[in-house]
Structure 1
Amino acid sequence: MSPPQKEGDGEKPYTPVDALDMGLRSVGIGAVVGFAASALQNAFDTNKAGIMTVFTRHGKSIPHMALTVGAIGFGSTAVANLRSKEDYVSAAAGAALGGGVFGLPSKRLPIVLGYAALYGSFAGLFVFTGGRFSGFQNFKEEDEFERKERMRASRRRPIEETIAEIGEGRGIRPPGYEERRRQRLKEKYGFDINPVKATVDD
């Protein structure tokens, strides 16, 4: 049972996730990735190859990738449940477990530890810096909608400035537009145009 999540520290309460279910889902994803890798190896094989050679000759990639990705999903979710917090630590722990599984076929402990350190450090650093390639995102940043509203309010230009740049007309009718239009027509054509009333006087 996971420890209770502390509230009041500005963080959203953590909802525990079934680690076994996440691991099985990750195994399925890894199996698909492994099958794609085996099919690609089979396509570039210089020896005689058929459909079954995807599984017989190059099929090792399927369980290998399935167990690797499954270990990542199970490990990261289990650590997050134990800590009641999903952050770079849980991501690094799960990736380190997956990296160790990835290096098991070598049967050499330095290689296993090396893959675990490589996978764990990369995943931890990636999540710590925001979990996206577009740039850093602070974990305590406000909601995306609130952030956009704040940016829109701070960068909103006055309507007078916008009208001064694009001009009046074409559906843009700020206050006093009709008076200025009549004045321009009078200066250009020499006669005054009275506005048309929408109602009929009795």
Structure 2
Amino acid sequence: MAGEDENYHPKDAIGTAVQGGLTTGVVGAIASGVQAALTKQNIGILGTFTKYGGTTAVFAGMGASYMFVRNVTANLRHKDDLYSSALGGFVAGSIVGVSKRSLPSIIGIGALGAVLTGTMTATHGLRGRRGDPDADILGEKDVARRTYRRPVAETIAELGEGRGIYGPGYEERRKQRLKETYGIEVP
């Protein structure tokens, strides 16, 4: 297929969907517990699941559908890029819209999910370039060291000696200073 990525490795869509559904389902159960705790009447521990179980189901459905759709589209296209992520985000957001029972909500929240997940994938999330596995981080750090390195004499002139910064002949100067100040002969 023209334009397909030679480095792409197929992903297990069902396995990651189950894992994503379980992970976000636990988050949804915690959110349901918080909802139950904030009610005025005491609904008990089972009220978390009977009255607010829909929250758990929506969270679990969002995680499972996002991971499934993202990995299936990536496997079909042989590319794991922002479009796969955006399509998964659209489906996950649409599940929230379905819980609102309104077609504009389905499309609107789905589009919001697509924009958010596509943007996070395109910008490598909150980590920036560190999330890019192909980035030559050591090379970039080496260039920064060579560009911004200052001579030791200049650093000592500004900060003084001590705290791990010692110039040549420091031990002799220290011995002389101790002898003059305290009269102590340092071996």
Which category of TM-score, normalised to the shorter sequence, fits these structures? 0.7 to 0.9
Letter in 2 for 1:124: G
- Supply the distance in 1 between the matched residues of 2:25 and 2:54 (Cα, whole angstroms): 11
**Structure 1: segments with no counterpart, 5+ residues:** 7-12, 189-195, 197-202
Q: Given the alignment, which residue of 104, 116, 137 partners 2:98?
A: 104
Which residue in the other structure is 1:32 paired with? 26
Equivalent position SS for 1:116: helix
- The percentage of counterpart residues that share the same residue type is 31
Letter in 2 for 1:47: Q
Q: Given the alignment, which residue of 136, 140, 164 partners 1:147?
A: 140
Equivalent position SS for 1:32: helix
Tell me, yes or no, if structure 1 residue 5 matches structure 2 residue 1: no
Q: CA RMSD in A?
A: 3.3
Q: Given the alignment, which residue of 97, 109, 117 partners 2:111?
A: 117
How much has 1:130 moved relative to structure 2? Answer: 3.2
> After the TM superposition, which residues 12-27 of structure 1 pair with which residues of structure 2 at under 5 Å, given as runs?
13-27=7-21
Distance 1:70 1:138, change over 3 A: closer
After superposition, give the CA deviation of every residue in 1:92-144 in whole Å (9 maximum; x if it has no partner): 11111111122222333222111111110121122223311x66789697322
Q: Given the alignment, which residue of 50, 62, 79 partners 1:85?
A: 79
**Structure 2: segments with no counterpart, 5+ residues:** 181-186
Distance 1:56 1:167, change over 3 A: closer
Distance 1:64 1:167, change over 3 A: closer
Equivalent position SS for 1:52: helix
Q: Flag the structure with larger Rg.
A: 1
Q: Is the 8 A contact 1:129 1:137 kept in 2?
A: no
Tell me, yes or no, if structure 1 residue 74 matches structure 2 residue 29: no
> After the TM superposition, which residues 180-199 of structure 1 pair with which residues of structure 2 at under 5 Å, given as runs?
none
The structure with more helix, counted as a fraction of residues: 2
Question: Structure 2 length as normaliser, TM-score?
Answer: 0.78
- Supply the distance in 2 between the matched residues of 1:72 and 1:16 (Cα, whole angstroms): 16
- Supply the distance in 1 between the matched residues of 2:81 and 2:48 (Cα, whole angstroms): 38
